[in-house]
Amino acid sequence: MSAGSSLLGRIKMFNLACQGILTLSNMFYQKVLKGINGLDHASAQENVDNGITCNWWRAVGTISPAGRKLHLTLSNADLHLNHYHEPVPAGNPLAGLAPTFGAVTPFISTTAGAIQRDHILKDNILFDPFITALKFATRNFRSRGFIFYAYLMTIGKVAVEMEQFSEEVRELHIYKDFLPYHSQGEIMAKIIIPSVQIEKAWEFDGPQAKRDLKRKVLPTPVYQISNPAYLDPQKFSNIRELLR
């Protein structure tokens, strides 16, 4: 082997290694919040202990690997994002299980915050993930509800069929079509948010939280659940925090 070919070989291996590094660097452990209304303390504890499951899993009781593969599709992702409260289309394998797609969706909505530009005011508007999750948890400040603090794994690409990675729906460079709820800052999980990725769950009183926010005071939880099984992502790389 000539010196030239040896050098070219090393350059090729270096380029391949760089490509691998670049691919790996696209994966993030994304902090998210999930607001859920209507949970008592025991149900919230169960979600922390066993993970937050999708509505499809809860609706049918038992799911299979084949079912997971069948339902994690781009068309179902579109139904989740744009037709959540509408009937499941005829011919969809989930049809007939519930009145609306949202009741049987294999996806789980979470928030990490969003930024939108106001071209008139020449300013960027932050949609705080805590406020978004708090509104979902308390039904717009009308009742009590839980916010779950967790993290998901993202790879910077559309990968709906890959259960282990969540979808960065809020990212306009990835999800380019118009989405009416972009301000919710959605990171879309699939099937289950594992218990080890849930740090804690805090319950908030909606009316009290609304009064606190009017006084520009950060709402405090009325009940707290911690998770001793939580695996802190700080031991991993590429952590992406919530927008603030």
The string of pLDDT tens digits covering residues 55-105 is: 999 999 999 999 999 999 999 999 999 999 999 999 999 999 999 999 999
What's the total number of domains in the chain?
2
The runs of H, that is alpha helices, within 96-232 are: 129-138, 206-214
Of 34, 40, 76, give the one whose Cα is nearest residue 56. Answer: 76
The pLDDT of residue 242 is 85
Total Cβ atoms within 10 A of residue 207? 12
The set of residues, in sequence order, having a beta carbon less than 8 Å from that of 35 and lying 6+ positions away, is: 111, 132, 133, 134, 135, 136, 137, 138, 145, 146, 147, 148
186 is a domain residue: yes
The set of residues, in sequence order, having a beta carbon less than 8 Å from that of 180 and lying 6+ positions away, is: 82
129 is a domain residue: yes
The runs of H, that is alpha helices, within the chain are: 3-25, 41-50, 55-60, 65-71, 74-82, 129-138, 206-214
Q: How far apart are CA 106 and CA 193, in angstroms?
A: 12
Q: How far apart are CA 97 and CA 6, in angstroms?
A: 62
Of 155, 147, 156, give the one whose Cα is nearest residue 199. Answer: 147
10 is a domain residue: no
- On whether both 146 and 234 belong to a single domain, the answer is yes
Exposure b/e, 115-148, CB count within 10 A at least 16 = b: eeeeeeeeeeeebbbbbbbbbbbbeebeebbbbb
The pLDDT of residue 21 is 41
Of 103, 110, 104, give the one whose Cα is nearest residue 67. Answer: 104
The pLDDT of residue 6 is 54
99 is a domain residue: yes
- On whether both 211 and 156 belong to a single domain, the answer is yes
Owning domain of residue 218: 26-54+106-244
Instruction: Select from 70, 90, 105 the last residue of a domain.
Output: 105
- On whether both 95 and 123 belong to a single domain, the answer is no
- On whether both 100 and 198 belong to a single domain, the answer is no
Q: Give residue for tokens 């969706």.
A: 105
Q: Which residues of the chain have pLDDT under 70?
A: 1-25, 237-238
**Cα–Cα distances in Å, from 162 out to 5, 23, 167?**
39, 16, 10
Q: How far apart are CA 175 and CA 152, in angstroms?
A: 18
